[in-house]
Structure 1
């Protein structure tokens, strides 16, 4: 009985130990599951932050490119609206809700949401930031925006703005010169909730948008779908809602302090949760993105497995107790022997399994294609053969004892050092990450590294598995670039690229299908080729399909009918694809050549018209090629083409294909520099026109030459012999006319001088004598009072007549001009003009003598004519005269403050005074300038040579 009790007690102890082991194994399994889940969720959060950062970067780059458009910088509203709307249509599928353009005052001048236009946001953070000079060429992420529909609703949209300042810097001939001034702000509105929802599904089935929340580094909640009332509030708020949900907020403090990692926390009335978090830094914001998952979603299956295990153990215990009792009664010795034999076999089996496991591990490590190494206390203590090859060492001895961080790229050492410390401190596996290693030869490789804590010679160590991914990354990058290029080529190709099956049904098409046919892509794909082919050519479709199946390719011309009913001609190049597809398909490249064929026909017509024009034009035309000698100098030219007019004008026959020295052997004597001129035209590409006299022919040619392409030039020849002869006759007549005019003017001046002298000498002396006699008679006492009055009247008449005679003599030929010179004559005439006209006359005069008498008189006459015009037409109150001399030129400047002369008066043929002045100045080889002042009045400037 005592033995039986002992057996029962032993069985109970074994069962209790088994239960404890199962519980301990459950806890260990739970820890491993949690560690792995943390590592997985950490990767999820990092990938989520990377995806969001890449998304923000892509949207920001697009906004920066859009801000450089000239239409935004110069506010071309029509073009701005078209370009902004086109970009919005392109990106709205990427969770962009609006694009708005603000002026420098913060008022929306255009928005893809029309109701926002006209609103002012000058007080918003992004407007104030953009107005600063240091914000130029930068980006700004705004805070979340609130719902505009209900101002009483304090809950915001989960939306924010990407703001880019706009400056007038684009150079465009259609707009004014850029001022480089601040012109406003461009904003792109992003829906944060849609972005997060879009990026979550690819990562984890255990993660949903309800598990995600975002805070900034100051503790402001930016995203929390379970508690939207918390958004834009600080997490430090401790109201009744928060106390109901949370026992402690230490986990939030830890998240804000560490910014990256994983923690566990327990809400008040909910299951324990696991939170993994990572930072996202972009431009002016740093967000911490956290993913919360209930603890039972992670360990639930382990707990369920434990419950099943306990139920199974209970059944086994009950069966064992019953069986033990029966077996004990029947054969206690046999049971004991069997139990001992079983234990021995199990122990031997376990030992064998341990040896086999160690051998498999050794073979796995040595045969692994990945590098496996162990480092202890910072030094490498083990490395397999793959590691030796990866690091390009000759033997393991070159690596054993080497500092582990020495093979890590300097830029990654700080991160690797933290990972090693975390693995040793926490004893948890480090997630798989990409790093860069330095081989012993100095080259850099990209690797994937996984690390786990282990022990080496009873010391804590780290085992790492390293995979060289250098070639893979290069291949991935090359593949991305290749796919991007090919996709871009297909999507932006102006040619139709499509596929169809062997019955003619269209399977796919690029956007060019819409442009070429007028059908949308949805209308185009899925229909049969027969529907687009012109009716008279549809019968050829069957033979085309048969031919491409037989030969694998087909090409030709295809008449088609567009959606609008227009007939077009396509040129197609098709091939059959049989590799990589379950059913053969046809790849098709089609190009609309309708316009090209029309242009070809137009070109043929144009060439025909050109040939008719070429052969029937009255001007001579020739196209020539420059020939060079061995030193590269122009030596001769050859006629490529010449029309009949050229041969008739020059007297040269059959010049095409011949050299110049063959048709004109003595051309160097006639015009030595002719070939050089043509070579200069060909080299510079600048057309030139010149005249050439050919004395043997007795002709003069006008030649226009220009370069057609490298080494060739064309000449247009016109016979201007008769025109040159007419010009010579005209020039001779002009010279004779000028001589005659000069002679008449000189004769007129001489006659005026003679008349002036005779009036002064003869009439003047007679009037003076008469004046003396009248004065004598008036002084006689015998004269009656009535006679005295009559004598006084006669004296006044004689005195006035003397004055008139003097004035007429001066007008005909002022004596002061001959006696005192030009300066004195101008001063005298200015005073006389002011007295006669009442117009104030200001004179600034220099001594300009000596002056040739004829030019002196001409300058005086020009002064008289100009002041006469001022008195008659200018309505001026003041006139200013400047007389000066510079070297051998005399300048007379007359400026009035009158109404000013208009352009019609300057160019009118009836302005005889101006015409006379121009002729006189021309005869004296001088210059005249007549212009209207900016404010009022006219300015006349005469410049004549002094002549001495």
Structure 2
């Protein structure tokens, strides 16, 4: 029994009972609502049929109705004339009360036409949605694994013209490494008739790849089950995630290296952990630390991944020339090694000097694929090699100090105190600058991942993430560079402060520097202490003073050295603040 909800409208509603009785007798389950003539039916009203009486009011009522269901007019008159008049007014059919049994056929015809019309409208709507969808959609025949149909978004993503994907086999558009898992998942979807999430790489018509994510499901088409893929391009998102992940890994590794270089004085630990850190942040396959032996030849001191290196690759004439040239010149070299038996196989090789005080302690050899030689990665490895050389030199000095007399123990204690202070400073630098940038980049990437493909501002957001990643690398280099200012060892305190002042002026600071040491070098401990005071003072000015106007003075007063850092224009500073450090240097 079919349920039928009927709306009876017009001023002759009491006469419709004979029609609803006929519908009940034909097996319909009828529920009836009534409205007075001329009333408007609200949009979305859930009626199957409208019966309208009083033909004189029919035309005006139909103009106002918005329910959208079939309308059958009824009246006392029989014949063609009242039926034609009702049709002109907008009714779908007409039934005379003289032949009420005809209402059953009229209702059946109206419902059939309405069902066909609605089905056609739904099909047209679904087709329009699929055509306009941003997601790539395509249907696959599970026996031949051929594409039956694909929407325009799929054709654009894979670089095909309209209709060109039809008949293309799945193996032609799915990356070979992903084809097996995709086929297995498709078979499972056919077996249990369920949706499954899917992630794989598509092959485009030009041979390039697109990483996609989405779902696979089974639908019925022409009486058989076929596979429906709905996927969207995540290539840029994956690239951004990989870039951010690599940058964060590099940042953490650099921080770990900073802790290592400032906290350990053990040769073995420095060499082993340094190589592991370098492998983690780069694509290197092999890393070797070579040091000169007593006879002047280079010998392997520490290595990682040595078993994956070609047999005697580092002993080829080209490699040996590069090694000894780096040892002699103190400058890094980048070369490409070819396999002696297979010239198509090659290795990018980077030789980095472990250099301190114009003296090369050894050579760091790095072997790996082409992307190992990218500019930023080379710079990071060079910086780590430089700091490693400082750490190794510190370790050597500590070994010598350990053999000294008890009178040098005080100097050792000061060294540990300086190292603790340096560790604290580095921790603040990383927390206040590097970590904040990394967190901001992560939040921007989350916002980027939440935006759909093609959304306004999506590309700009990605560029902001990339800029933040670049900034993390720049900040990390700055942190590493400040671990130990080499200019202090090479040129002395006065020149080191002058270089720092010039750097601040380039940033737009208003800094004056008055110095009156006459080129005299102070004891290393005094120079280091005074330089750290200047460094910390300028850091505090940058973070807290609210001004960039600074006056620095350095001069002798008898046997004392006076350092003054005066900040003007800062809230709460009044006429300035003075920091003086003095002491006998005789």
Task: Give the TM-score, by structure 2 length.
Answer: 0.31
Task: Give the TM-score, by structure 1 length.
Answer: 0.21
Tell which has more relative contact order, 1 or 2 (C-alpha 8 A, sep 6+).
Answer: 2
